[in-house]
Amino acid sequence: MKHAKFLYWIVTGLAAALMVAASIPDLLRDPQAAAIFAHLGYPAYLLPFLGSAKLLGAATILVPGLWRLKEWAYAGLTFDLAGAMYSHLSVGDPSSVWVFPLVGLCLVGGSYALRSMRVSQAVSWS
């Protein structure tokens, strides 16, 4: 049980760090982020919206409690990462570009799975 909790926080911390790092260029409307969005066919005005959503989602999965809100945060992060991966694949970007959303999906999915395992154990033991 103790190892599962430790592993959960490691994976969750990495997932949150990745999402925070990805949100900063979006929030700052970095020209390189805008160029990537243009390459994918998206308008630049989505950058601050998606950056804010990533930042709020990362914060939500780190805060203890908030079980229902965490479900939404995990869903939102999953949609963001799956959409990013699909968008890069759709325009024919090489794997060196779409591997980052794939890693993010694995981290968010791993965090969610470990969280669900912890929740089910806590419920079954009480």
The whole-model pTM stands at 0.89
Alpha-carbon distance of 44 to 29, in angstroms, equals 8
* DSSP per residue, the chain: -HHHHHHHHHHHHHHHHHHHHHHHHHHTT-HHHHHHHHHHT--TTHHHHHHHHHHHHHHHHHSSS-HHHHHHHHHHHHHHHHHHHHHHHHTT--HHHHHHHHHHHHHHHHHHHHHHHHHHHHHHH-
Q: Please write the tens of the pLDDT for every residue from 35-82.
A: 999 999 999 999 999 999 999 999 999 999 899 999 999 999 999 999
